[in-house]
């Protein structure tokens, strides 16, 4: 019991795992969350945490040896699973919106690649200062190659927020230095959490946890997964979700907010009465699960009733462009052309992705008309991507003005 209480009070951190294709992100994540199989079966029974709980771990310190099984519990970590290398830049950015820290995986045998640069720039632009660099696949290189690669990484991060980040040589596959990475995760600074403002919950996932054939009387309401950025939420709270659902009204597509009630709250395998900002959580609502099925509400924001601003199709931002288009191979290097009137851009705001047509450009300010309306919160970071040869490429960042 005492241990349980301790566990619920652990410092919490949301950590993203990023890096180039095949550099070992998924392998590393599975090794870091070593107890995956047990958690999995337990969660299968519980149903509710299956999607989010997957990569939640508690790090223990066993007389200086960091692990996920025994010793004194030190930290609760929610890994935000980067959905593989195919990962769209937009998905990466949505993920970056909800992380406090990141592990940048660089394979020692390949070094810095286009996606390494792209992801790293996105982390910088999202002002993620807590970065651990894992020099992976160390088992594949000679000592000389490892040193050369280490120097290359040092050069890459010179003058950036990651200048003094730890670079941990490791082999995810051979399980070398996994404990060192866990130890480093315990050293990262925990950001200050704002528990007094009105709640802002960013929906990163939504799902229906009922198995086919569940009796009507036993059907669970729709479940939302994501991050409480600030404030508190408790069981019984009447809440509002915006932009909500897209419906047809008088031949027009409009968005209508959804109101519901919090039925239960979960963090990993724990059920809680009240939750403050920290690790990933899941919220069971009284909504018809049809509404939350298959990530239907991903990108929406939840708060208490009458707190969120009206949704808007018009967005005004101040922006900055990168010099170079990110994510391209060295041979395809390309400068970023200025933004033009009427051009179509993809925007990422929190966990939302929308398309905007440029209506007006004035100095470093842009006004855009959005195809999907958003909840525009002043000061929020906006990722700007342009379609270049059929790929959305990150070209700059902005901030919502109002």
By the criterion CB under 6 A, which residues form the site for ligand GDP? 19, 21-27, 84-85, 136-137, 139-140, 171-174
Peptide bond preceding 243 in cis form (omega within 30 of 0): yes
Question: What 8-state DSSP symbol labels residue 277?
Answer: S
- Per-position b or e across 216-235, b if 16+ CB within 10 A of its CB: eeeebbbbbbbbbbbbbbeb
398 binds, among ligand GDP, Mg ion, none (CB under 5 to 8 A by kind): none
Quick one: CA dihedral 387, 389, 390, 394, positive or negative? negative
Please state, as a whole number, how many other Cβ atoms lie within 10 Å of the Cβ of residue 108: 26
Which is closer to ligand GDP, CB of 29 or CB of 287? 29
172 binds, among Mg ion, ligand GDP, none (CB under 5 to 8 A by kind): ligand GDP
Which is closer to Mg ion, CB of 17 or CB of 101? 17
Which is closer to Mg ion, CB of 20 or CB of 229? 20
Minimum CB separation from ligand GDP for residue 104, in Å?
11
Minimum CB separation from ligand GDP for residue 109, in Å?
8
**Do the bridges between strand 352-362 and strand 365-374 make them parallel or antiparallel, or are there none, so unpaired?**
antiparallel
22 binds, among ligand GDP, Mg ion, none (CB under 5 to 8 A by kind): ligand GDP
Judged by the rule CB under 5 A, the positions of this chain that interact with Mg ion are 25-26, 84
CA-based max dimension of the chain: 69
173 binds, among Mg ion, ligand GDP, none (CB under 5 to 8 A by kind): ligand GDP
Residue nearest to Mg ion (CB): 26
For residue 40, give both structure tokens.
């999995």
For residue 102, give both structure tokens.
């990141």
Which is closer to ligand GDP, CB of 140 or CB of 307? 140
For residue 266, give both structure tokens.
């979960």
Residue nearest to ligand GDP (CB): 24
> Locate tokens 């995760």: which residue?
185
Minimum CB separation from ligand GDP for residue 101, in Å?
18
- Per-position b or e across 161-178, b if 16+ CB within 10 A of its CB: ebeebebbbbbbeeebbb
Minimum CB separation from Mg ion for residue 246, in Å?
31
Minimum CB separation from ligand GDP for residue 131, in Å?
16
> Alpha-carbon distance 344 to 282, whole Å?
34
Dihedral angle at the C-alpha atoms of 66, 22, 82, 100, nearest 10 degrees? 50
Which is closer to ligand GDP, CB of 42 or CB of 81? 81
Minimum CB separation from Mg ion for residue 175, in Å?
17
136 binds, among ligand GDP, Mg ion, none (CB under 5 to 8 A by kind): ligand GDP
Which is closer to Mg ion, CB of 24 or CB of 244? 24
Minimum CB separation from ligand GDP for residue 70, in Å?
25
380 binds, among Mg ion, ligand GDP, none (CB under 5 to 8 A by kind): none
Minimum CB separation from ligand GDP for residue 83, in Å?
10
Helix (H) or strand (E) holding 44: helix 36-46
Which is closer to Mg ion, CB of 29 or CB of 287? 29
> Alpha-carbon distance 178 to 180, whole Å?
5
Question: What 8-state DSSP symbol labels residue 217?
Answer: G
Which is closer to ligand GDP, CB of 8 or CB of 26? 26
Dihedral angle at the C-alpha atoms of 363, 369, 371, 375, nearest 10 degrees? 80
């Amino acid at each position: 019991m005492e241990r349980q209480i301790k566990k619920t009070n652990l410092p919490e951190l949301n950590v993203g795992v990023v890096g180039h294709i095949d550099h070992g992100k998924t392998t590393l994540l599975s090794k870091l969350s070593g107890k995956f199989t047990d958690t999995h079966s337990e969660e299968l029974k519980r149903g509710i945490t299956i999607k989010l709980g997957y990569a939640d771990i508690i790090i223990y310190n066993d007389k200086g040896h960091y692990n996920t099984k025994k010793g004194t519990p030190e930290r609760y970590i929610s890994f935000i699973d980067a959905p593989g290398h195919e990962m769209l830049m937009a998905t990466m950015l949505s993920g970056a919106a909800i992380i406090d820290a990141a592990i940048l995986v660089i394979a020692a045998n390949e070094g810095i690649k286009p996606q390494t640069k792209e992801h790293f720039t996105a982390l910088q632009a999202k002002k993620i200062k807590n970065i651990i660099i894992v020099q992976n696949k160390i088992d594949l290189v000679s000592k000389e190659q490892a040193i050369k690669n280490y120097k290359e990484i040092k050069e890459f991060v010179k003058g950036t927020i990651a200048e003094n980040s730890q670079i941990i040589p490791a082999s995810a596959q051979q399980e070398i230095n996994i404990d060192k990475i866990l130890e480093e995760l315990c050293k990262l600074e925990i950001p200050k959490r704002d528990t007094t403002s009105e709640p802002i919950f960013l929906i990163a996932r939504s799902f229906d946890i009922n198995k086919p054939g569940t009796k009507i009387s036993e059907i669970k309401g729709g479940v939302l997964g994501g991050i409480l950025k600030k404030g508190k939420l408790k069981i019984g709270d009447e809440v509002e979700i915006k932009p909500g659902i897209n419906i047809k009204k008088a031949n027009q597509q409009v968005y209508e907010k959804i109101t519901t009630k919090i039925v239960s709250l979960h963090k990993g395998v724990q059920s809680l009465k009240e939750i403050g900002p920290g690790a990933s959580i899941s919220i069971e609502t009284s909504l018809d699960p049809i509404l939350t099925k298959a990530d239907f509400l991903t990108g929406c924001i939840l708060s208490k009733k009458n707190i969120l601003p009206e949704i808007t199709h018009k967005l005004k931002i101040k922006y900055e462009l990168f010099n170079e288009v990110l994510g391209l191979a060295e041979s395809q290097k390309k400068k970023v052309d200025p933004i033009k009137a009427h051009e179509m851009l993809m925007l990422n705001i929190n966990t939302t992705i929308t398309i905007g047509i440029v209506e007006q450009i004035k100095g470093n300010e842009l006004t855009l008309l959005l195809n999907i309306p958003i909840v525009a919160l002043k000061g929020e970071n906006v990722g700007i991507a342009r379609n270049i040869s059929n790929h959305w490429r990150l070209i700059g960042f902005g901030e919502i003005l109002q």
